[in-house]
Structure 1
Amino acid sequence: MFETVTLDIATIDFPSEGELKTVQAAELARLIEVGVTSLAALLGKPTGQVRTQLGKAAGIKDFARADIDDLREAAQTLRLRLNEPSVRTPARLPRMQRPTGMGQLPVPRTVKQAAIAMSCGLCADPIKAGEIIGRTRNPKNERLHKTMGWLCQHCLYERREKPRRRDVLLRVFHHLFANNAVDLNAYECAVLSIWLLEDPHVAGTASWQRDPLTATIVRLQTSQQEEKATTWIAFPTARTIIHVLRECAVTPAPADAELLDAITQHLHEWDTNPQGIEHRRYGRGPGFHAQVLQATDRPSVLSERGGPFDLHHAPPPATEKEAEDA
């Protein structure tokens, strides 16, 4: 709660950074209103002007339509203004160079500097206060796809032009989450084919023996050589790829290993439904997957973020096509 505000005090007792990370949307909205009123009194400015300035600083055009990620960033921005008035962010952001062609991603809805240290809403990488973050526009089909939280600079601009292994894993996971085949561009195909062939004994893994990936690797390599913008990987083949990568003898980087473990865990939970989620209520598609993910007794970076997320075609394919069997 706030103390009574007078014009001669330097700070106001606003909830701490840690406390704000756990506050839910309705309480965040209330805190923002109280904070805006307090700051307006402190500065001797109209509340409407202070609210508008806060919206610009937090990347919010309409507070009534703001989601919990927007509200939390606004509250953290307000906390700094109230309790740490010496902290200021530069007025102008650096100009960002957006990739073109098959590595391009949609223009973000908003871009700003992070008010506090946080983690990316997609890849979970740490973000320092002051680093570039942004929000994507709401997905076209909000019944199927969920809106992502604040993303790091890499996930906003570079994840399709300079994909890391975990970018490819995330793309596969969210397509499987949505019950879709997986589409990869040539850059992503290169990353995946190199990874699959890193272990010279990959063909000896149990998953490969059940569903050989020889033809799939040829397709990935051909797509790389021909610089194809879209290569479709069938749903069951994408699942096999995940299991093969996890069974390979070559140990991946810690972040990749953690993500592989999480994806494998959640695929198994979708198959076995250990929490007994009702199929008749949620079906067997994304709605069911989301409920199982939410009910897991082993939370992961994936379950904490939810989904499925629309990770976008860019540029979109000329026509929608069915996935080809690999």
Structure 2
Amino acid sequence: MSELYDPALPARQRGRRSAYERVVRPVLYRLGRGDAEVAHEQTLAGLRLLGRIPGAARAGARLSGTPAPRTVFGVRFPSPVGLAAGMDKNGIALRAWPAIGFGFVEVGTVTAHPQPGNEKPRLFRLVDHEAVINRMGFNNLGSEALAARLAAYGDLGYPLGISIGKSKITPLEEAVEDYVTSLRRLYRYGDYFAVNVSSPNTPGLRALQDAGHLRELLTALRTEAASLSVTGLAPKPILVKIAPDLTTSAIDELLQVCTDVGVAGIIATNTTIGRPGVESHPLAGETGGLSGRPLTETSAKIVAHIHAQTGGALPIIGVGGILEPADATRLFDAGASLVQVYSGLIYRGPGLIRKINRSLP
């Protein structure tokens, strides 16, 4: 029953579940004979349709809690709760996300070259542990296609983050130009850019977290951003998304590079290659990054460390293991300025975002 809602759970425990968990989630989990990626695609298709209904997003947003706007790295966010990268890689449902209560959305990770990603199956639910393992491999239509889609959207009415990564076919020594190409194509459309050097699903990518590689990459991106700003485009913040598997000393070294280069913020954290708390699960041996409940503790500790190490001078987007409003509060208390949700949406549904928004001070 690891892939499905378990009706054998005690009635008292099932009674505490939301309508999404009791009714909608079991249906989604059975789509494609339990294929998690099919459920993902069908959910996006439904949201895309929702986004085409006039006024649906505004009506949904009004029901999603009192706005708690804040300005972070020069961008004003109507709510500090955002959708993490990976859910809507190609930006097909961007009109719908405000209806769920998200104050911002991060699309991608997008690469300079279109790519299909890794072989399927590549997305696995560990329901008993409220966790997900994925080895998607940056499957996306490419930065040129995303730019065309964003141009067609026009003003979304909320901040858009764009996560950029290295194409699989691009050698590590040519990674800088790969990232710069995507930044150049998408610069006018993003409100901030996330540099993904921490996904475990593209060979060699995490080597870009090393100080030397990272300094070269971020310097090139900052230089390109400055040249694009000269052409009349507003300056855009550049953030770095880090892995939860880095040692404390490696995080400190990375932070020093980010400070030296003038990075606007840190996203902590990506998925982990470890299997904390799920070692006995039948799917624990699947390769890929683990997300969800097992990251709750780790992400909070890393956010707290970054906040302390930088004296709060470097804004942090906290992500990882948010399945309850208390999890978001913990990240805010640890020093996060904003938070992002992904796996929590899979396990708790859209009601989770409403509850987090309503819990904000």
TM-score, normalized by the shorter chain, greater than 0.5: no
Which structure has greater helix proportion? 1
For CA contacts below 8 A with separation 6 or more, give which structure has more relative contact order: 2
Instruction: Give the TM-score normalised by structure 1.
Output: 0.32
Instruction: Give the TM-score normalised by structure 2.
Output: 0.30
Which structure has greater strand proportion? 2
